[in-house]
Every structure is written in C-alpha cells, then in structure tokens.
A and B are shown apart, each in its own frame.
Chain A
Amino acid sequence: MNDLQQQYRLEEVRKVFGRHQIALDGIDLGIQKGERVALIGPSGAGKTTLFRLLNCTLRPTSGKIWINGEDVETLHGKQLRQARRKIGTVYQQHNLIPRLKVIHNVLAGQLGRWSTLRSLASLAKPHDEALVHKALDQVGIPERLFDRTDELSGGQQQRVAIARVMVQDPDVVLADEPVSSVDPALASTIVRLLIDISRDTGKTLVVSLHSVDLALAYFPRVIGIRNGTTAFDLSPENISDAMLEELYAGSGRENSDTEAMSEPANSIAYPSIS
C-alpha cells in the first residue's frame, strides 16, 4: 500500500534490456523521506540501473514504483518532468557540459522550473548569479563562477555537479558512485558534504559507493545489491564480514577502481529500437 510518507516504494521491480539482459530481478524497497541510504555491491550488480529507475530516466519492465505516493506509470510529459525536477542526481562522471561556463552548468539545475524562453535568455545573460555564488560557496569553490567547466579539475567538477543539485533544490538527492573517480582524501569530504546537505535540509539521500568503508562509516542504512536483487538491507552494525564477502564473491574484489562502466546498463544505455 502507498504510505504517503514514503519517498520511494518499489514492488517487484524488474528491468530487462533487449530480450535477455536482466539488470534488475525483483527489487522490493521502501525509503522514507529524509532517510540516508547507501547502496553497495559489485560492478554490474544493477546499481546504476536502479538509480535510473529512481530518477525516472527509465521505466521498469514490470513491477511498480511509487515516488512520493505517485505511481510512476501515470507520469507523462509535463508531470514526468515535474517529478524529475524533484529528484536530483549526482553522477560519477559529473556529467556537466564541458564547453559551458560553470555558472551555466550550475544554473541548469533550474531548468525544471524555467520556461524554455527564460533558459535561452539565461544562456546569454545568467539569471541568478547570487544563487549560484551561494551554492558554489557551500561546496567550496566560489571563485570559479565564470570559468569554462572543462578547465576545472575532476574533484572541482564534481563539486560543481553538487552545486547544480543544490540549485535544483529537489526532495531527493541520488548519487551514483559520486566519488569513484575522485582521490580518497577528497572522497570522504564529498560524502560528508552530501550528508550535511541531507541533514540540514531534510532531503532524502541515496548514494551508491564502491568503498564499503565509506558506506559503513557514514550511513545508518546499507543495502547490498547483487545480480539485480537485494542481498541485504541492514544497519552497519548488523552487517558481518561474511555477508560482505558473499556480496562481492567472484567479482574483482571490493573497492576495485574499475567502475560500473562494465555494468550493462551503461552500454545498453542507448538501446536500439527492437
């Protein structure tokens, strides 16, 4: 049943690509508003696909997803966009537009609110400089407002991506491996930043991480995903080493830096029409 307090409710969600590629095989999940959850699991387990379902980039092949009490299947066109606006995503590859200036990339967070005309005008003359300044200040790089985005380092670009989410001001923040291409020292800073944002504003936070240590250290709830299903869904103190071993068994070890680039979702990301 749809508990209106729930941010997400997933029931028996399956996602199949093409005819045979089963990315998710029956996920049941409930996430409360304001919760902070970490997802861990080996590459190819289905974490990225799960995120794409959570942020309405993809639709499930079968099963149901409720976002804030609304059945995703009923969302189309403008409603779909409005639902998306309320979900902010931080990606591993930051996914910013390299040639645009930082300020435009951050302001892009407002696109869900702006009319098309206003967005075009903003490209000529940025609309809300103060807002961007504040966001960049919070992530620690206020001086980079007018630089071209590809002139920043990887870590700085990731922070711009977070600033974009802050400007977007969603109800949920999803982060798909946000720190995997960032050096370890910076990684915990960024994770802490995300958690602070969630704590200060009450936003729901779902983060997938390669580093099990970070997950166990910072999140009150950790979900293990393996082979497209939930292996466990517990608080850190209840997760044993044996469970972790089983989760990553047969994969290239935990904390491997080889990304979920190998995860089928990414390569099948742009499936041809069958």
Chain B
Amino acid sequence: MATNLLILGAIVAFFVWSYRGAEISLSQLFSRDSFEQIGIYMQKLFPPDFSAAVIREALKGTVETFAISFMGTLMAVMIALSIVFFAAKNLIFSGLLYEMEPKQGWKRASRMVPYVAAKSVLNVLRTIPEMVWALIFVFLVGLGPFPGVLALGVHTGGVLGKLFGEVLEDVDTQPIESLQATGANRLQILLYGILPQVLPQFISYTLYRWEVNIRVAAVLGFVGAGGLGQRIHIAISLFFEQQLLTLILAIYILVTIVDYVSAYLRRKVL
C-alpha cells in the first residue's frame, strides 16, 4: 500500500513539474483575456443563419451524417461478429466446451493461435482513433462519406468485438451444460444455448455505440469524410459563424433524436 502511494505521488509530482516548462501556463490559460475572447466569439454566432441555402445544406449534411453512422455501425457489427467468436476464451479453447479435450499438446496450442490473432486484430482496430482511420481511408479511397463509413466500421468493429467478447465470456453455463449433455455439437450449442442469451446484450451495446457514432460521424467530415463535419469545416474556415450555429443546432437535434431512439429501442430489447 505504501509503495503504491509512493509511485502515485511520484507520478503526480512529475506532472505538476511538467506544467512549468510546457506551453500550458495555467494563469495564462484562464486569464480574463481568454474568456473575453471566447465571449466575443460566442456573440458572433448569433443569430443562427436560417436562409434557405444554409438550411438545405444542413439537412443534406444531417441525413448524410445519419447514413454514415448507420452504415458504419452495421459494418462494425458484421466485423465484430465475424471475429468475436474466435476472441472468446470459453468458445475457443477453455471452459465447458473443451473440458473433455486434452489440456496440453499442439491441439490446444493450435486453438490458441486464432484466439491471440483475433484479440490482437480487435485491439488494433479499436486503439487507432476513428479520426486517424478516417485520414487513412480518405487517402485510400478519396474524399466523401465512404471513408467515413469505413473508419467508423473498422474502429467500432474493434470496440464491439471487445464488448461482445466480454458478454460471451460471461455467459451462463447451465444451458450449455445441458445442451452438451444431450449430445449437441458445438455449433448447435452456440446457436441454441449461447446466442439467445447474448443477443439482447449485443443489440444493446450496438445501440449504445450508435449513439457515440452519430457524434463521431458528425465530425469525421473535418478530414473530408462527408456529413455535417465537412460543412462545419467550411463554415469555420470561411468565418461564417452564423452558419456554424445552424449546423451545430443540426447536430444537437440529430444527436438528441438518435439518443432517444436508441434509448427506446434498448428498453424494448432488454
């Protein structure tokens, strides 16, 4: 316990020290000047620009953002499902399904390989931030909403893969045990015993990630991946602050709607 505190204390001290040399000087940061500047900027946002052209762009951006998040999340589910069954310990090499198998030997080792591979892939997918994926995909396939879908799909696939994996590993073993006792093979056990248990939770997690993704989709456009983000980038760069407010309002409404729909669906599922 004492050593833990000591380590913690050392780390804290290091960070407090690090602030002295950095560009972040606290007094400068929170000076009255800064807040005045923010105030001035905020004033420039009002009133929002409700001209027909802007509203049209906002709507277009909104549905495009929705489309990106929708397809991206679907793609993520497909990716996650295709990998996760290899990334769950109890499905691949340990636990009830493998009790009767030899514990050592190359057979078990050979089963661990896909497990490690799957887990690593998921790790890579979800550690690289969506934005960076977006940059990569813009480079690979060009501008537009498609790289946004790919970026979301790939990153969220990794996230969902991890979450789904945890659900699979925590599954109730009793149905598995009874099915196994009747002589069902592993695939049948998967379909009849495991899937029914995990499906609601899978759907719930997917819906939750959709809520996160709609916000991400809205900003991927900054790097050229379409949607509201692209239009916001333009508005800010060209100093069209009132247009910016309209677009922000669009995001707010879209996000709120998606939050509600997601919460509603989640209630229905669980």
**In their complex, do chains A and B touch, with some C-beta pair under 8 Å?**
no
| Chain A positions near chain B (C-beta within 8 angstroms) | none
| Chain B positions near chain A (C-beta within 8 angstroms) | none
